[in-house]
């Protein structure tokens, strides 16, 4: 690429430098505002072993069914208002984030 070709490419950029700068400033400001207006999102997961079926070498269907039933019961218990209230008091908070128990 020779000098003339380079000047032909750079001339419009140099002539409209203020527009390029304005577009960059607008994009940066928009991204900053958008990032600070979004609510914070935290994702966590945990696994709880319920029952002894996983410790057995050959668990039977009754043990697996009991384990599944216990896990579902514990999940329902975690959604109770009394449990949520106790968690808020223990944490010293007046609100809890939304969470899902599966």
- Expressed as residue numbers, the domain containing 19 is 3-37
Residues 63 and 87 in one domain: yes
pLDDT for the residue numbered 101: 67
Residues 22 and 68 in one domain: no
Q: Are 100 and 76 in contact (CB under 8 A)?
A: no
Could you give the number of structural domains in the chain?
Answer: 2
Q: Please list the helix, strand and coil fractions of the chain in percent, rounded to the nearest 5, in that order.
A: 60, 0, 40
Structure tokens of 56? 């057995």
Residues 82 and 57 in one domain: yes
Q: Is 64 exposed, middle or buried (0-12, 13-18, 19+ CB in 10 A)?
A: middle
Q: Mean pLDDT of successive 10-residue segments in the chain (102 residues)? A: 84 88 97 91 79 80 87 87 90 82 68
Residues 57 and 82 in one domain: yes
Q: Are 101 and 75 in contact (CB under 8 A)?
A: yes
């Amino acid at each position: 690429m020779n000098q003339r070709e380079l000047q032909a490419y750079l001339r419009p950029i140099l002539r409209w430098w203020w527009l390029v700068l304005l577009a960059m400033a607008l994009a940066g400001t928009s991204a900053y505002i958008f990032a600070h207006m979004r609510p914070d999102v935290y994702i966590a997961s945990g696994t709880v072993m319920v029952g002894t079926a996983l410790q057995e070498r050959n668990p039977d269907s009754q043990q697996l069914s009991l384990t599944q039933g216990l896990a579902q019961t514990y999940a329902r218990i975690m959604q109770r208002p009394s449990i949520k209230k106790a968690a808020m008091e223990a944490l010293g908070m007046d609100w809890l984030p939304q969470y899902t128990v599966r």
